[in-house]
Amino acid sequence: MAVAERYSSDLHETRSAALLGLALGVAFTICFATGLLSHLVQHPPGWFTWPSRPAGLYRVTQGLHVATGLASIPLLVAKLWVVAPAFWTTPPVRNVTHAVERAMLFPLVGGSAFLLVSGTFNTFQFYPWDFFFTRAHYGVAWITVGALVVHIAAKAALTRATVTGRLPDPDAEAQPVGRELVGRAEPTERRRFLGGVAAVSGVVTLATVGQTLRPLRAVSVLAPRDPAVGPQGLPVNKTARAARVTPELTGDDYRLRVTGRVGRPLELTLAELAALPQRTATLPIACVEGWSASGTWRGVPLRDLLELADAAPDAEVQLESLQTGGLYRRSIVSATHAADRDTLLALTLGGEPLHLDHGYPLRLIGPNRPGVMQTKWVTEVRVL
């Protein structure tokens, strides 16, 4: 069967490709910017400072990252279906520029598919692969965005002509550079198709965004997480068992040590910590996987503890967890975060001692930090 016959729909056309491209461009830009931000927050270079306020900023940026990624899936599927005949264009390569542009379609299509599939699997904590998700997702994001920039440049004239209503008829002799598709849908057919794709994207969003927007919990039937389900009414990503934190480690022998560049090293029992002045803060756990949930925490402000240990007021600290393995057994608290009055070493959640899975006996909870940096089972505060 000839290629042209295989793609008989009029919707294999430039206008639909460009409009879906624009929607994907917006979604991928938000996704890339928020993903990059999350990377910088977790691995801050010297020039980067992440504020501790507003307290829920990371919750918004990471919620957006996952929501735009999920909403992009129907857009990408629709876009690839619309442009499918362009893959079989003849001759396959016309000149060097065309060859570069076409070669870039491999990282563009492959990279986009990889990012959306691996990101979605990650939100379900499903890892049917051997590589380290975060590093691969981050590296492929750069490759995909590079290829997307080339693609946008190659299709800029066509997209501009579409948006300004100056796209010539596919049969006309003079065509903007880069046009491969010859379909010509009726406006009503196109509206129905693009409206349908937008509706599917909207449904995907509504069905998942309740994992971070609590009022939408009830309709978010596909959300990987319910923000109200977990010990003490809050979800848990890493349980004490998974982190190999046993009740023996958190028993009577438990001590919090404050070490490093301090005038007065401290070693405190749980009772001594509980006897220090306490503060209450309502703060979210905002997970890198896009869910978030607020809790009311009470504990010792980190800055009070640093003052007690005679540390510099602008000290940066490293927290050490009782967990024996795993990437997140340590975290850095920047000077900005350490100085925030709501950055707590929390002893209670919702008025009760922390559940072991929430980090009993002591965990960090601070405003505007990714969940993986809210270290649980804290046993040492090392002033750097």
The footprint of ligand HEM (CB under 6 A) covers 14, 17-18, 21-22, 24-25, 28, 79, 83, 86, 105, 108-109, 112, 148, 151-152, 155, 158-159, 178-181
Q: How far is the CB of 207 from ligand HEM (least distance, A)?
A: 22
Q: How far is the CB of 36 from ligand HEM (least distance, A)?
A: 16
Q: Which is nearer to ligand HEM, 79 or 303 (CB)?
A: 79
Residue 23 main-chain phi, psi, to 5 deg: -60, -40
Distance of CA 45 to the CA centre of its chain: 19
Q: How far is the CB of 285 from ligand HEM (least distance, A)?
A: 31
Q: How far apart are the first and last CA of the chain?
A: 69
Handedness of CA 118, 370, 211, 298 (dihedral sign): positive
Number of C-alpha atoms within 13 angstroms, CB side, residue 199?
6
Q: Tell me which amino acid residue 252 is.
A: D
Q: Which is nearer to ligand HEM, 148 or 305 (CB)?
A: 148
Q: Which is nearer to ligand HEM, 144 or 205 (CB)?
A: 144
Q: How far is the CB of 114 from ligand HEM (least distance, A)?
A: 11
Count the Cβ atoms, other than its own, within 10 Å of residue 181: 22
Q: Which is nearer to ligand HEM, 89 or 278 (CB)?
A: 89
Q: How far is the CB of 218 from ligand HEM (least distance, A)?
A: 32
Q: Which is nearer to ligand HEM, 22 or 198 (CB)?
A: 22
Q: Which of 291, 241, 270, 263 is nearest to 354 (CA)?
A: 270
Q: Which is nearer to ligand HEM, 24 or 64 (CB)?
A: 24
* DSSP string covering 146-202: HHHHHHHHHHHHHHHHHHTT-PPPTTSS---TT--------HHHHHHHHHHHHHHHH
Residue 381: beta bridge partners?
Answer: 258, 319
Q: Tell me which amino acid residue 219 is.
A: V
Q: Which is nearer to ligand HEM, 50 or 81 (CB)?
A: 81
**Distance separating alpha carbons of residues 112 and 80, to the nearest angstrom:** 11
**Distance separating alpha carbons of residues 80 and 116, to the nearest angstrom:** 14
Shortest-Cβ-distance residue relative to ligand HEM? 21
Q: How far is the CB of 121 from ligand HEM (least distance, A)?
A: 18
Q: Which of 61, 81, 85 is nearest to 73 (CA)?
A: 81
Question: 């978030």: which residue's tokens?
Answer: 292
Q: How far is the CB of 289 from ligand HEM (least distance, A)?
A: 22
Q: How far is the CB of 169 from ligand HEM (least distance, A)?
A: 13
**Distance separating alpha carbons of residues 107 and 120, to the nearest angstrom:** 19
Q: Which is nearer to ligand HEM, 108 or 236 (CB)?
A: 108
Q: Which is nearer to ligand HEM, 160 or 341 (CB)?
A: 160
Q: How far is the CB of 20 from ligand HEM (least distance, A)?
A: 7
78-97 in b/e burial notation, b at 16+ Cβ within 10 A? Answer: bbebbbebbeeeeeeeeeee
